[in-house]
Structure 1
Amino acid sequence: MINYEISEHLKKQLDNSKHDKYKEIQNFLYELLNPHKKIPYHLELQNFLGWIDSPEFMLRQIKGINDFVNKSKSYDQFIFIGMGASAILPELLLKEQWINNEKIIEGFRDNKQSFKPKFYFIDGTQDRDLNDVINNYKKTLIFFVSKSGKSIETKTIMQNLMNIPDISNNFIAITDYGSDLYNFAKSNNFQEIFCNPPYIPGRFSAFTYTGLISAAISGVNIEKMLKSVIKFKNSIIKTNNHSLINLINYLSKMLDCKIDIVNLLSSNEKDPKLLWVQQMISESLAKNNRYLIPLNSDLKKLKNRHDIVNIFFKNNKYSLAEINNEKLTQSIILNNIENENLGVFIYAIQLIITSLSFIESQKGLEFNPFTQPNVELAKNEYGKHNILLPSLNEFQLPVSSNIKNLKYISFLIFTENDNKKKEFD
């Protein structure tokens, strides 16, 4: 179940609102979670709804995942490389002991006494030299995570690492069947290729190999997690006055009250849940006229804003009473969302985003909350010209005969080197 608390002032304001869509939300979720009914939502968006039954599908893959985890015990390090959701999701379900304010606490010291993390997650935009991270190439597994395999940043890192013999034998691909990454991994004899179930949007793929492989390696009982998600999913259909439906209704009332900015907060400022939920809101709901804007900001700066609600994900700092005393009058606390309840929380967020995208749309199926057309357009354009980024350590512009045929070129450079910043300004 979803356990949440609402600050006294906010609850009173929302309870007094005449805007009430509880029954509409209940009917929508009932129909959404019963695919055999074939409602218009299913028929029009059928190529994006595979995530609804992905917990059941992945539960049938447990033996294969466990076999891989047993084989992985001979390795010391696990590095996951991706872009966007493909970089966030492998960390999202990681066992809690691996994450704290310093991001990764478990690892070891190499011969030079430099700290080497056991788990490392690289967003393709990060300026990173993997030589500073990897202790022993032969004892390191590198996972390339990409739904389409077209992300230029991930492809660039992969191509650069292909030239290192000791590591290129330890590549793993997590992707869709038949994708560019799948074909590349197959032709280059990757150690393993995990193909996700079809029709699942990237940011909704927590309960696929994308999110579950790293979780299983870190020690999460993913079988227990998936079974709890399925139980939660079934309870929505069978239970009257369900807590999730009440929460979605409160969020709908918030929008009606012109409270359309959510400030996402956790006692761990690097909590991967913050990044993922922020992405889910901004990429799925921002297309709607009645949109939500996600923030992650200092509470003190937002105390007197009447259009903002603070949502606490991991609340070790404030109790509900303290929140009321601190005059953080517009706050929601999501309780008990760690460890064995994390899977239920993640599935609930997917349902919340999907429900609001439909319920708050003024014209029903007005837009698709599961796509990112401009991102896909950019990937396809890059693919046409077979462009890779220059080495992030050499700061050299790419030289290619294809460049003269392009209408424009943009360069995005990430560096902490002040001299290099001045050089490229």
Structure 2
Amino acid sequence: MKYDLGLYSGVVKEKIEQLNSERIIERIWEKDFTVWGNEPTEISNRLGWLDCSEVTKESFAEIKSFVDDVRKEGFTDALLMGMGGSSLAPEVFRLTFEVKKDYLDLHVLDSTHPEAISEFEKKLHPGKTLYIVSTKSGGTVETMSFMKYFFNTVSKKLGKEKVSKHFIAITDPGSGLEEIAKKLKFRKIFLNDPDIGGRFSALSLFGIVPAALVGVDIEKLFDELLNMENESKLIAVEKNSSAVLGIILGSLANATVDKVTIITSPKIQHLGGWLEQLIAESTGKNGKGILPVDLEPSASVNSYGKDRIFVYLKIEGDNEFDDRINKLKKAGFPTIEFSMNNIYQLGAEFFRWEFAISVAGHLIGIQPFDQPNVESAKIIARTMVKEFQENGKLPELKNEMSQQSISSFLSTTKSGQNYMAIQAYIKPDKKSWQQLQSLRLKILEKYKVATTLGYGPRYLHSTGQLHKGDSGNGFFIQFISEIQNDLPIPDEAGSNRSSISFGTLIKAQALGDRQVLIDNKRKVLTINLGKDIIESVSKIVV
């Protein structure tokens, strides 16, 4: 790790001395909740990630035996149904390591858009697919809706007597999912350490079971992890790179340099999606927060405001973005650089950042293990769903799509202070991503504000907490579309009754988040892209 902080070097040096005097490293490893707050609630029972290397290793033999069994039985694919911490690390493992020969190809479903669900249903052969239902709480509405839908469709195609052996669960002990999985006779139930929060669970069963299914050598992954763990125990803060990273992020955020722009080697670019949740959901609360800016299109140095810090993660020997970082340094932007020898150091990076964000939380003055604003959008969405079930309709949403309204909305942004978040409640695919990325670049170049892009409802379990919990510098453009081929959500697995569809659910989620943003005095513009999403986005002139 190396860093160039310019004007901020002095304050970081001061904070290193301060945290040495506070015994911060020892206290974190002692699981001292007073590092982050006066009460142990949602702190003391969320520090299990510190023991992940030991606890998860105890399940290695069980995991390997399970993976061997499903491979021998001819399973070729796995569909992981989960949100946030249950889906992001598995996605990083799959897209970084790819799939080892004769192991299972892992697909991640975290969109309630009916066309996304239908695509997986058409693409995957149920007789060769393992369905992974992954949720810590055991009651995540999206995950349980996916489970009920696919349990029914697989049951119809394979027969009721065969369906159960195609389903497994990863959850906490005593959760609603554990009970349902037992009732439905799931093939396997993995019970995770309940003292690990969702976004800190990458190295627990939530991340490692899917990693093993695609052929990651989990022993090797944890050997690399152990090196980082040992370094993170160094009590001299200046020698502890994880702690120093946290001090830099926290100190600069306190100085309003709070837009952490992530640049990575292409091979590890998907790590940014996991970092996005860890940073945003951990720090974005109580009017404070660090905004992670992931996969932002490259622009000239003149397009960036004074609120930026750039983090560069590269694979040894891949110098693709070295020139870009050097230009940013010369322009005076603070930078942090990491070099990984190989992709098996990914587990070590997961741990480094978990530790760093815990330190940053201490400096910012927040506790990083809760998510107080996430539930608010869920409550309103549930209210709207109930209203739909009673009245047969959701509230109407005025479409604010006009050139004048978009330009007027964006014209009040201030470079160096505000950010613009695109919230896309549309089917995630390559074409829509490219079009929305082009829109990000236009906004970045014209208004010189940080931009983020998230598909709904995925982002609700990632950056959604920060959107509602930070200081209120965000501008939110919410895209919705016309659902063309809707799908019913079964009331129960095995039942043909349905009182709501996925199309209704995703609309309720968009409406719910919009309402909570407005209630929190956030600036929101909602645009209905209609049926031709690509064409509609291409016509937007900022």
Pairwise same-fold verdict (TM > 0.5): yes
Encode CA deviations 1:13-67: one digit per residue, 9 max, x unaligned. Answer: 23244762113445212211134x7766597121111111122101111111111
The residue aligned with 1:124 is 111
Q: Which has the higher contact order (CA 8 A, sep 6+)?
A: 1
The yes-or-no answer on 1:308 pairing with 2:308 is yes
Q: What is the CA distance between 1:420 and its match in structure 2? A: 9.4
More helix by share: 2
Partners of 2:510 and 2:534 in 1: how far apart? 11
| Unmatched runs of 5 consecutive residues or more in structure 2 | 393-482, 490-496, 501-506, 512-527, 536-542
Q: What is the CA distance between 1:142 and its match in structure 2? A: 0.9
Partners of 1:18 and 1:153 in 2: how far apart? 42
Q: What is the CA distance between 1:11 and its match in structure 2? A: 3.1
CA, structure 1 residues 396+223, in 2 after alignment: closer, same or farther (shift >3 Å)? closer
CA, structure 1 residues 271+52, in 2 after alignment: closer, same or farther (shift >3 Å)? same
The residue aligned with 1:81 is 81
Q: What is the CA distance between 1:233 and its match in structure 2? A: 2.0
Encode CA deviations 1:255-313: one digit per residue, 9 max, x unaligned. Answer: 35432111112243993311111111111111155531121322315544222112122
Partners of 1:91 and 1:143 in 2: how far apart? 13
The yes-or-no answer on 1:358 pairing with 2:347 is no
Code of the residue aligned with 1:373 in structure 2: it is P
The residue aligned with 1:112 is none
CA, structure 1 residues 40+291, in 2 after alignment: closer, same or farther (shift >3 Å)? closer
Q: What is the CA distance between 1:176 and its match in structure 2? A: 0.8
The yes-or-no answer on 1:140 pairing with 2:140 is no
What TM-score, normalized by structure 2, do the two folds share?
A: 0.63
The residue aligned with 1:5 is 2
The residue aligned with 1:348 is 352
Could you tell me which of 200, 206, 214 is aligned with 2:196? 200
Code of the residue aligned with 1:15 in structure 2: it is S
CA, structure 1 residues 119+248, in 2 after alignment: closer, same or farther (shift >3 Å)? same
The aligned runs of 1:310-389 (5 Å cut-off) are 310-314=310-314, 316-318=318-320, 320=322, 323-325=325-327, 327=330, 329-330=332-333, 331-336=335-340, 338-361=342-365, 367-376=366-375
Are 2:96 and 2:270, in contact at CA under 8 Å, matched by a contact in 1? Answer: no
Could you tell me which of 508, 516, 522 is aligned with 1:410? 508
Are 1:85 and 1:203, in contact at CA under 8 Å, matched by a contact in 2? Answer: yes
Are 1:54 and 1:208, in contact at CA under 8 Å, matched by a contact in 2? Answer: yes
Partners of 1:412 and 1:289 in 2: how far apart? 23
Partner SS, residue 418 of structure 1: coil
Are 2:265 and 2:321, in contact at CA under 8 Å, matched by a contact in 1? Answer: no
Are 2:24 and 2:35, in contact at CA under 8 Å, matched by a contact in 1? Answer: no
CA, structure 1 residues 328+421, in 2 after alignment: closer, same or farther (shift >3 Å)? closer
Partner SS, residue 257 of structure 2: coil
CA, structure 1 residues 254+40, in 2 after alignment: closer, same or farther (shift >3 Å)? closer
Q: How many residues align?
A: 389
Code of the residue aligned with 2:88 in structure 1: it is I
Partners of 2:272 and 2:97 in 1: how far apart? 17
CA, structure 1 residues 230+381, in 2 after alignment: closer, same or farther (shift >3 Å)? farther
Q: What is the CA distance between 1:356 and its match in structure 2? A: 0.8
Partner SS, residue 231 of structure 2: helix
CA, structure 1 residues 187+88, in 2 after alignment: closer, same or farther (shift >3 Å)? same
The residue aligned with 2:434 is none
Are 2:173 and 2:191, in contact at CA under 8 Å, matched by a contact in 1? Answer: yes
Partners of 1:354 and 1:313 in 2: how far apart? 20
Partner SS, residue 14 of structure 2: coil
Partners of 1:97 and 1:18 in 2: how far apart? 35
CA, structure 1 residues 286+383, in 2 after alignment: closer, same or farther (shift >3 Å)? closer
Are 1:88 and 1:272, in contact at CA under 8 Å, matched by a contact in 2? Answer: no
Code of the residue aligned with 1:324 in structure 2: it is N
Q: What is the CA distance between 1:208 and its match in structure 2? A: 1.2
Partners of 2:378 and 2:191 in 1: how far apart? 20
The residue aligned with 1:183 is 179
The yes-or-no answer on 1:224 pairing with 2:220 is yes
CA, structure 1 residues 337+359, in 2 after alignment: closer, same or farther (shift >3 Å)? farther
Partners of 1:33 and 1:124 in 2: how far apart? 37
Could you tell me which of 219, 230, 234 is aligned with 2:230? 234
The residue aligned with 2:272 is 274
The aligned runs of 1:293-304 (5 Å cut-off) are 293-296=291-294, 297-300=296-299, 303=302, 304=304
Cα RMSD after superposing both structures: 3.8
The residue aligned with 1:395 is 486
Partners of 2:12 and 2:46 in 1: how far apart? 33
Encode CA deviations 1:379-401: one digit per residue, 9 max, x unaligned. Answer: 578789997999x8743788988
Partner SS, residue 233 of structure 2: helix
Code of the residue aligned with 1:22 in structure 2: it is I
Partners of 1:286 and 1:238 in 2: how far apart? 28
Partners of 2:380 and 2:287 in 1: how far apart? 29
Partners of 2:532 and 2:321 in 1: how far apart? 46
Encode CA deviations 1:222-259: one digit per residue, 9 max, x unaligned. Answer: 12322432343233334642233333333344235432
CA, structure 1 residues 281+18, in 2 after alignment: closer, same or farther (shift >3 Å)? closer
The yes-or-no answer on 1:209 pairing with 2:194 is no
Are 1:176 and 1:195, in contact at CA under 8 Å, matched by a contact in 2? Answer: yes
Q: What is the CA distance between 1:215 and its match in structure 2? A: 1.1
What TM-score, normalized by structure 1, do the two folds share?
A: 0.78
Are 1:267 and 1:314, in contact at CA under 8 Å, matched by a contact in 2? Answer: yes
